């Protein structure tokens, strides 16, 4: 499997795991969806857990890159971040239909049962928290670490709400809360 074929298999598996759950998606579905041989898949990942871990890391890299690009394109860094999340919740991002946070779903299904997958998901969450702190610092806010951590908590809740509530309502409420948080941390 070439590097691009391996990447295709990881992305195909990520989409299937996102849509159906990690435990509900069998290797047969991944083999079919990725159009690769079972032996080839196991040669590169050794186990389903290895494949899941690869999808978590792949998702973290893609999602962090997507958010970094959103920050760069925004009127200001925080508005760019808010725009990126709003597009994600609406299903208008490169990730397709929104089904909840991939990292949180991995933690929910693997905490306590797979240290490698749990560790990869926690590393992904920490990568995003670092991005939120940097965005706060780039916005000139007081106490960027505290702001970034509060923003992370706000975004985690908004992202869960977007699964069961109209994304436009979640976005409007999130933007109001972000304004309040920003005013509380303004210099």
Quote the pLDDT of residue 40.
86
16-21 long-range CB contacts below 8 Å, 24 or more apart?
Answer: 17/52, 17/55, 17/102, 18/95, 18/99, 18/102, 18/105, 19/97, 19/99, 21/105, 21/109
pLDDT for 149-177, tens place per residue? 999 999 999 999 999 999 999 999 999 99
Q: How confident is the model at residue 1 (pLDDT cuts 50, 70, 90)?
A: very low
Return the domain boundaries, the chain. Answer: 48-184
| Residue 12: CB atoms within 10 Å | 19
pLDDT band at 43 (very low <50, low <70, confident <90, very high): confident
For residue 80 the two structure tokens come to 């760019």
What CA–CA distance (Å, rounded) separates 4 from 122? 26
Q: DSSP letters along 126-152, please?
A: HHHHHHHHHHHHHTT-SSHHHHHHHHH
pLDDT in tens, 3-26: 578 888 999 999 999 999 999 999
CATH class of 48-184: mainly alpha
Residue 2: pLDDT above 60? no
pTM to 2 decimals?
Answer: 0.92
What pLDDT is stored for residue 163 in this prediction? 94
SS3 109: helix
85 pLDDT above the threshold of 50: yes
Mean predicted confidence (pLDDT) in 74-83: 94
Q: Which residues contact residue 60 at a Cβ distance below 8 angstroms, ignoring those fewer than 6 apart?
A: 103, 120, 123, 124, 127, 128
**pLDDT at 45 > cutoff 60:** yes
Average pLDDT score over the chain: 94
pLDDT above 50: residue 105: yes
Of 171, 135, 95, 138, which is closest to residue 105 (Cα–Cα)? 95
Query: Number of helices (H) and strands (E), helices first, in the chain?
Result: 9, 0
In Å, how far from its chain's centre is CA 50? 19
- pLDDT for position 162: 96
Q: What is the DSSP string of 71-93?
A: HHHSSSHHHHHHHHHHHHHHT-S
| Confidence (pLDDT) at 3 | 56
């Amino acid at each position: 499997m070439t590097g691009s074929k391996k990447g295709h298999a990881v992305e195909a598996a990520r989409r299937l795991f996102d849509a159906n759950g990690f435990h509900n998606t069998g290797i047969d579905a991944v083999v079919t969806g990725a159009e690769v041989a079972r032996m080839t898949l196991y040669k590169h990942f050794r186990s389903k857990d290895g494949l899941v871990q690869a999808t978590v890391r792949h998702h973290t890299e893609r999602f962090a890159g997507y958010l970094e690009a959103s920050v760069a394109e925004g009127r200001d860094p925080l508005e760019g971040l808010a725009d990126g999340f709003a597009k994600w919740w609406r299903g208008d991002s490169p990730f397709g239909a929104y089904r909840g946070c991939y990292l949180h779903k991995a933690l929910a299904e693997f905490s306590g049962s797979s240290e490698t997958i749990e560790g990869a998901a926690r590393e992904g969450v920490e990568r995003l928290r670092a991005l939120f702190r940097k965005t706060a610092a780039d916005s000139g806010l007081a106490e960027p670490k505290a702001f970034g951590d509060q923003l992370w908590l706000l975004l985690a809740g908004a992202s869960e709400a977007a699964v069961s509530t109209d994304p436009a309502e979640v976005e409007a409420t999130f933007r109001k809360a972000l304004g309040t948080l920003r005013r509380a941390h303004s210099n």
